[in-house]
Amino acid sequence: MRPFRFLAEARDVVDGRGLAETARRAESMGYDVLVITDHLIEQLAPIPAMATIAAA
């Protein structure tokens, strides 16, 4: 059996600082993936958001 991998969703994040904090917290808790909203609602721009997550 392959090991489980878990993901977290960065929900209700309103700025880069909060997104970076969420990414660090998810990583420290053992999550493998952090996903962000990509739909027709109020959201952070996807490319800068992913760059912020990668830099965290």
| pLDDT tens by residue, the chain, 56 residues | 888 899 999 888 888 899 999 999 999 999 999 988 777 777 788 888 889 888 98
Strand partners, 1: none
pLDDT of 11 reads: 82
> What domain range includes position 26?
7-55
Q: What is the pLDDT, as a whole number, of residue 33?
A: 92
φ/ψ of 4, rounded to 5, equals: -70, 145
Query: Does the residue 2 lie in any domain?
Result: no
In total, how many domains does the chain have? 1
Query: Does residue 1 belong to any structural domain of this protein?
Result: no
| Cα within 13 Å of Cα(22), Cβ side | 21
Q: Is residue 32 part of a domain?
A: yes
